[in-house]
């Protein structure tokens, strides 16, 4: 596969180098791992659609209404676990 060059700020390059060094790998591999692990908007939408279809097939319903008290309670619960005081 042909190689290309990506221009980044010095700070970004230095951070990628530190991450690579800590992982005993290369900047090339750090960037490749990030790209492989990050979903594109299309991939995210497809994954959400598959998840909703699977939940619908099992009769599971998740309410998308942000004012729903159960949803608010769940968000507060997770915020507490994550240490978010807001």
Regions of the chain where pLDDT drops below 70: 63, 84-86
Any domain includes 77: yes
Distance CA 79, CA 68 (A): 16
Is residue 30, in this structure, part of any structural domain at all? Answer: no
- Distance between CA atoms of 31 and 7, rounded to whole angstroms? 13
Domain membership flag for residue 76: yes
Residue 49 lies in a domain: yes
Q: Is residue 64 part of a domain?
A: yes
pLDDT (tens digit per residue) in 60-73? 777 677 788 877 88
- Determine, yes or no, domain membership for 48: yes
8: alpha, beta or left? (left if phi > 0; alpha if psi -120 to 50): beta
Threshold 0.85, pTM exceeds: no
36 domain residue, yes or no: no
Domain count for the chain: 1
Could you tell me the residue range of the domain that residue 75 belongs to?
41-81
């Amino acid at each position: 596969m042909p190689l290309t060059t990506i221009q980044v700020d010095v700070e970004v390059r230095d951070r990628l180098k530190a991450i690579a060094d800590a992982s005993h790998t290369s900047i090339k591999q750090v960037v490749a791992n990030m790209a492989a692990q990050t979903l594109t908007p299309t991939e995210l939408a497809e994954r959400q659609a598959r998840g909703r279809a699977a939940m619908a097939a099992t009769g599971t319903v998740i309410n998308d209404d942000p004012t729903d008290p159960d949803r608010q309670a769940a968000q507060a619960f997770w915020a507490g676990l994550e240490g978010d005081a807001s």
